[in-house]
Chains A and B, each alone.
Chain A
Amino acid sequence: MRVLIPGIGGVLGQRVARRLLEQGHEVIGIDRRPWPDAPPGIELHNVDIRKRAAEDVFRKRRPQAVIHMATVTHLVEKTAERYKINLGGTRAVFEHCRDWGVEHAIFVGRHTYYGAAADSPLYHKEEDPPMAVTTFPELSDLVAADLYACTALWRLPNMVTTVLRMVYTLGPTGHGTLATFLRGRHVPMVLGFDPLFHFMHEEDVTTAICLALEKRVQGVYNVAGPQPVPLSVVVRGTGRTPIPLPEFAFRAALGRFGLPRLPPGALAHIMYPVVVDSEAFRAATGFVHQVDEVRAMEEFRNAFPVRG
């Protein structure tokens, strides 16, 4: 199959591309970021997904499937630019899919879509509303991109659309929001709170995305691997030291004393859980995770040992 991956330059994009190449697919990538050591079989286009040149790739290469991974989180881009990439980019991808006869589009979203709150249920189902818009306004563009991708399910009936809501990634590449939060020696926690964190190994993330392509599943799916674990266990399991701070002190200390810089809304995600039920995805694709939570933490710990 000819597969186009917008956002191929990211860590996950590269992994998915390599895996698909191994499986004998023809892989084309679009990204503003370079990928210097890309395997020779992968065709790269160094263009912005929102620009005309990107449409030309669709026009000339006519991919059968598209895996849209060109979304960014608050940790990468400033707000205005990020909104453009996440919303404008997603719109462009789906419009090109419509115009150039793509058979299957996969949107790779995030489980933080559901948001963290004191009254958020354990194990979100796909039909749960996106509370993230109130709990963590900085994520609203990702929520909107996710919902926009969902509209393709009824707007583009001739195409198979898959919306994946993936839990946090954790593994030796240190990629992702959770890994970034855990990078330092000390990890701040809010005193008296220790929510469950749901994450899976990057290898399993890759497998899940490739399975969604292979099985051509239509619809919205939560994707998770092993069971969630409390944040304190994640922190200790990765060899870090938890620093419990009262809520007010926490707000004041962010970005100082070697603590990570986080937007205020992120606090809810350290106080309350976001965990998802991935039963539907497993049933539809036969996905089984290979790496359990213990090994995922160990691999991250070994790749990013605490200095000193």
Chain B
Amino acid sequence: MSLLIDPEIAARVDRLELPFNAYGVDPYGASKKHLARLFTLLRFFYRHYFTVGVEGMEHVPVRGRAMLVGNHSGGIAIDGAMVITSCFFELEPPRLAQGMAEKFMAQTPFMGLLATRGGQLTGLVETAEHLLHDERLLMIFPEGARGTAKLYPERNTLVHFGSGFMRLAMKTGTPIIPFGFVGGGEAIPTIANSYALGKLLGAPYIPITPWGVALPAPVRLELTYSAPMRFEGTGTEEDEVIEGYVEQVKQRIAGLIEVGRERRRKALAWSRGAEDEARIEGETGGTKEEQR
């Protein structure tokens, strides 16, 4: 086994309820070996690099088709990565959330390949529908690439939501589990998006941060899931009806972002308070044990 794979995580990958074949590949091209490597890496970010606060995990079903629908937060896919990681580590048995990636990924050498091996497929309605028929867990960001383009001051706002996910959810009878993600904008505070650089690299744009490149800062992230929303219908309703439903989901997500911000504020205030206390302790010569 590779050095980059934690045996514990490999054992957890074995418990994923996916139809892997004799080579450890599932029908969509996700591979066990790659997933183990991926989650070994993501665990470091999830548990050590960032501080991730997760609430409402019980709303994510462990089996059956479902759609995680949330906001984009941060210029690169930290949000998606952390959602996938939370489903893998916090659910029993673990579950693979499958995102719908931008089409440019598939055209870029290695990028599309690595995404596919990790179960992250090119964003196409046909593929999404097939995944839901196979009772998979889909992760959808209805803001699309517009969402990752948010600048730092806009980090906790929502831009236009596409409505494709709603029609698909109604057509396939899939519950929507809204989630709000906070902190991605602090991890990658985008001051500008370079479309020229993006064109050069084959991506829609490249986010620029105060420290130049879009490397994330080790900040606190908050992820909040809420109770499933179900919409009755066939998915062929008029645009006005569908948009009304999309608005309901959007409002729920806006609320979850506020919940996350509040939790983040408290957590940061608490940790600042703890730092202050520690400093006072240090100055007065007291120890932690005495304080308790």
Binding site for B on A (CB under 8 A): 118-119, 121-125, 128, 190-194, 196, 226-230, 233, 237, 246-247, 272-273, 277, 292-294
What residues on A are CB-neighbors of B127 within 8 Å? Answer: 121-123
- B121 part of interface (Cβ distance < 8 Å): yes
What residues on A are CB-neighbors of B106 within 8 Å? Answer: 118-119, 272
Cross-interface CB contact of A121 among B23, B27, B108, B124, cutoff 8 Å: B124
- B109 part of interface (Cβ distance < 8 Å): yes
Residue of A whose beta carbon sits closest to that of B31:
A230
A-B contact pairs, 17 of them (CB 8 A): A118-B106, A118-B112, A118-B122, A119-B124, A121-B130, A122-B121, A123-B127, A125-B126, A191-B109, A192-B109, A192-B113, A228-B27, A228-B29, A230-B25, A247-B109, A277-B130, A293-B22
Residue of B whose beta carbon sits closest to that of A228:
B27
**A21 vs chain B, min Cβ distance (A):** 35
Cross-interface CB contact of A230 among B29, B107, B110, cutoff 8 Å: B29
Q: Are B107 and A118 in contact (CB under 8 A)?
A: yes
- B50 part of interface (Cβ distance < 8 Å): no
- State A118–B115 Cα separation when bound (angstroms): 13
Binding site for A on B (CB under 8 A): 19, 21-23, 25-29, 31, 103, 106-113, 121-122, 124-127, 130
**A151 vs chain B, min Cβ distance (A):** 24
What are the nearest 10 A-B pairs in CB distance? A192-B109, A121-B126, A118-B106, A192-B110, A227-B27, A118-B107, A121-B124, A123-B130, A121-B127, A122-B127
Cross-interface CB contact of B25 among A121, A125, A229, A272, cutoff 8 Å: A229
In the complex, which of the residues A121, A124, A237 has the most CB atoms of chain B within 10 Å of its own CB atom? A121
Cross-interface CB contact of B126 among A128, A190, A292, cutoff 8 Å: A128
- State A237–B22 Cα separation when bound (angstroms): 11
Cross-interface CB contact of A237 among B23, B122, B124, cutoff 8 Å: B23
Q: Are B110 and A233 in contact (CB under 8 A)?
A: no
What residues on B are CB-neighbors of A246 within 8 Å? Answer: 109
Residue of B whose beta carbon sits closest to that of A293:
B21
**B112 vs chain A, min Cβ distance (A):** 7
Residue of B whose beta carbon sits closest to that of A229:
B25
**B120 vs chain A, min Cβ distance (A):** 12
Residue of A whose beta carbon sits closest to that of B104:
A118
**A198 vs chain B, min Cβ distance (A):** 10
What residues on B are CB-neighbors of A227 within 8 Å? Answer: 19, 21, 25-27
**A204 vs chain B, min Cβ distance (A):** 16
Task: Give 20 new A-B contacts, CB below 8 A, not counting A190-B109, A227-B25, A228-B29.
Answer: A118-B107, A121-B127, A121-B130, A122-B126, A122-B130, A123-B126, A128-B126, A192-B112, A192-B113, A193-B112, A196-B28, A196-B29, A226-B21, A229-B23, A237-B23, A246-B109, A247-B109, A273-B29, A277-B130, A292-B21
What residues on A are CB-neighbors of B28 within 8 Å? Answer: 122, 196
Q: Are B124 and A233 in contact (CB under 8 A)?
A: no
Q: Are B126 and A193 in contact (CB under 8 A)?
A: no
Given known contacts A128-B126, A277-B130, A119 and B23 CB-to-CB distance under 8 angstroms: no
What residues on A are CB-neighbors of B112 within 8 Å? Answer: 118, 192-193
**A248 vs chain B, min Cβ distance (A):** 11
- State A247–B202 Cα separation when bound (angstroms): 15
What residues on B are CB-neighbors of A229 within 8 Å? Answer: 21, 23, 25
**A110 vs chain B, min Cβ distance (A):** 20
Residue of A whose beta carbon sits closest to that of B126:
A121
Given known contacts A123-B130, A128-B126, A277-B130, A118 and B103 CB-to-CB distance under 8 angstroms: yes
- State A237–B21 Cα separation when bound (angstroms): 13
- State A227–B122 Cα separation when bound (angstroms): 19
Given known contacts A121-B130, A237-B23, A277-B130, A193 and B109 CB-to-CB distance under 8 angstroms: yes
Q: Are A194 and B23 in contact (CB under 8 A)?
A: no
Residue of A whose beta carbon sits closest to that of B113:
A194
What residues on B are CB-neighbors of A193 within 8 Å? Answer: 109, 112-113
What residues on A are CB-neighbors of B107 within 8 Å? Answer: 118
- State A233–B28 Cα separation when bound (angstroms): 14
- State A114–B34 Cα separation when bound (angstroms): 29
- State A266–B155 Cα separation when bound (angstroms): 44
**A199 vs chain B, min Cβ distance (A):** 13
- State A229–B126 Cα separation when bound (angstroms): 20
Q: Are B113 and A233 in contact (CB under 8 A)?
A: no
Residue of A whose beta carbon sits closest to that of B109:
A192
- State A227–B26 Cα separation when bound (angstroms): 8
Residue of A whose beta carbon sits closest to that of B111:
A192
- State A216–B108 Cα separation when bound (angstroms): 45
- State A275–B121 Cα separation when bound (angstroms): 14
Q: Are B21 and A119 in contact (CB under 8 A)?
A: no
**B76 vs chain A, min Cβ distance (A):** 19
- State A190–B108 Cα separation when bound (angstroms): 12
What residues on A are CB-neighbors of B122 within 8 Å? Answer: 118-119, 121
Residue of B whose beta carbon sits closest to that of A117:
B106
**A280 vs chain B, min Cβ distance (A):** 13
- State A233–B117 Cα separation when bound (angstroms): 13
What residues on B are CB-neighbors of A192 within 8 Å? Answer: 108-113
What residues on A are CB-neighbors of B103 within 8 Å? Answer: 118-119
